[in-house]
Amino acid sequence: MVHARSLWAGTAILAFVLPAGLLLAETPATAPAKVSAQLFGDYYWVAAADPAAVQMRERQNALQFRRVYLTADREMSAGISARLRLEANDPGFGKNDRLNVYVKNAYARWRNAPGGAELYAGLTATPTWAVSEEYWGYRWVEKTVMDLEGVGSSADMGVALKGRRGSTGYFLMASHGAGVKSEGDHGKKLAASLSRPVSPGLIVEGYADLNQRPAGQDEITAKGFVGVKKDAAQGGLEAFVRWNRKAAAGSGDDVRIVGASAFGSAPVRPRTRLVARLDAVHRDDLDATDLLVIGGVDLTLAPELHLMPNLYAEIPDGADPTVQVRLTFDAVF
């Protein structure tokens, strides 16, 4: 019998070696590596803030690249490809430092896995908000609610299987649970997403994961999502619950976080869309419910160049709102 530790050791070797090896391997001249990039950020001005706030002050303003991605993709024979993606992000207002750069993705993909599935190995995307982020469509404006609250990670080191059985889509993953950071314990994370169209333009998804942590501090997450795409409009409703077991140090108390996000976008004229979103997140350890409101106008200057004037309002429970007026940009090339 193969021990679990040996199995995970083999998976780790596969996940680390395959992406780099495939990118560097000899390939036909007709299949060179494809390099692409994306950058997005804002000019923001803080119109209002709580006097006690430490993250943002009233009248604070800055021009920032929130994200810069540089991606290399290479197609191999027999349906195998590899990706290496670097990410850079702003260290934050007042840090007076360079952009932080790290590896976001490094994986191999086999498109002809058994059952017609795609098999991923390495530092690859997770199923946690893959479906809802597609329907939101504005990652360059803000993360989805689970991403924003740190309930999971957009990338993790492990193996994933993605495909369809009939009309049901599945995305299964086993990983180390530390995201893009190095592994810090012996626990592993299991995640599963199942999605299914229920009518033309309407999809439902169920998701759950278990992240094993030391000293019984496991993290358990469940969520449901409903997404709509009709004509050129789209939107969704996402709701999640996270249990952080024994999260309060020394007390042995669990912490539950419950959140929901409703969002949508629709065209109002050629090259112009209205975008709106409302999030609500409640933490039972703080007995507080915080809100986030986003509203903006997406101006398509070119197929891969967008500009959005938007209002971004964080409304914490028991404190004054923080309101930003932002001019957000996104460019892909």
**3-class SS string, 172-186:** EEEECCCCCCCCCCC
pTM of the model: 0.89
Q: What angle is formed at CA 273 by the lines to CA 270 and CA 274, rounded to 5 degrees? A: 145
Strand partners, 252: none
DSSP string covering 203-245: EEEEEEEEE--GGG--EEEEEEEEEEEETTEEEEEEEEEEEET
Report how far residue 118's alpha carbon sits from residue 163's, in angstroms, rounded to the nearest whole number.
Answer: 6
For residues 252-285, one letter each, b for 16 or more C-beta atoms within 10 angstroms of the residue's C-beta and e for the rest, the string is eebbebebbbbbbbeeeeeeebebebebbbbbee
Report how far residue 176's alpha carbon sits from residue 157's, in angstroms, rounded to the nearest whole number.
Answer: 6
Give, for all 333 residues of the chain, the pLDDT tens digit.
334 444 444 444 445 445 545 555 444 545 789 999 999 999 999 999 998 877 899 999 999 999 999 999 999 877 899 999 999 999 999 888 999 999 999 999 999 888 889 999 999 999 999 999 999 999 999 999 999 999 999 999 999 999 999 999 999 999 999 999 999 888 999 999 999 999 999 999 999 999 999 988 999 999 999 999 999 999 999 999 999 998 755 567 899 999 999 999 999 999 999 999 999 999 998 899 999 999 999 999 999 999 999 999 999 998 999 999 999 999 999
Tell me the Cα Rg of the chain. 21
